[in-house]
Amino acid sequence: MAWAVLFWLLIFLMNLALIVSSFYQLLCLVDLEDDHLNPFEASSRINFWVVPEFLLQGLLCLLLLVTGHWFTFLAALPLTCYNAFLYMKRQHLIDVTEVFRAIKVEKRIRFVKLGFYVLFFVMVVFRIFAVGTILVYHSEFGDLDIRSSFLEY
């Protein structure tokens, strides 16, 4: 049962890293739009974090699949598929020469990703508290069989 808390804490930290990465990319795009960064610098900063973000999102989705957390896995799957689609089409990196034409679209994509990560963050925080509550309940009342509980999944 304590492994469940550690698992959700790991998912929490991974999700927090995804939020920070998405926010940083969005911040670079805003700085580029306000002319605080040049296109090469903004593109290189964003492109540095794109592949690690994709890998972390894929790992998060894979961990949820392997551990049998189906609802949370299905919630994370659309963004993972979108990232895989972008990577296979080789459209995942920002082109320095086209960055000003695509800045509004790229900002919108980053805003949607950030919103998705924040919603996922709320789900994960709920799961941490739910599993922690079950763990406390289980330790207080001994050998009660609570594995069939809704919050155990």
Alpha carbon distance 20, 59 (integer Å): 17
132 is in which domain, residue-wise?
2-152
pLDDT in tens, 124-144: 999 988 887 776 666 655 554
Of 26-40, 82-96, 106-120, 136-150, where does mean pLDDT reach its minimum? 136-150
Total count of domains within the chain:
1
Q: By C-alpha distance, which of 76, 70, 68 is closest to 3? A: 68
What pTM did the predictor assign?
Answer: 0.85
By CB atoms closer than 10 A (0-12, 13-18, 19+), residue 3 is exposed
Alpha carbon distance 49, 64 (integer Å): 23
| Spatial contact of 5 and 131, defined as CB atoms under 8 Å apart | yes
| Spatial contact of 61 and 76, defined as CB atoms under 8 Å apart | yes
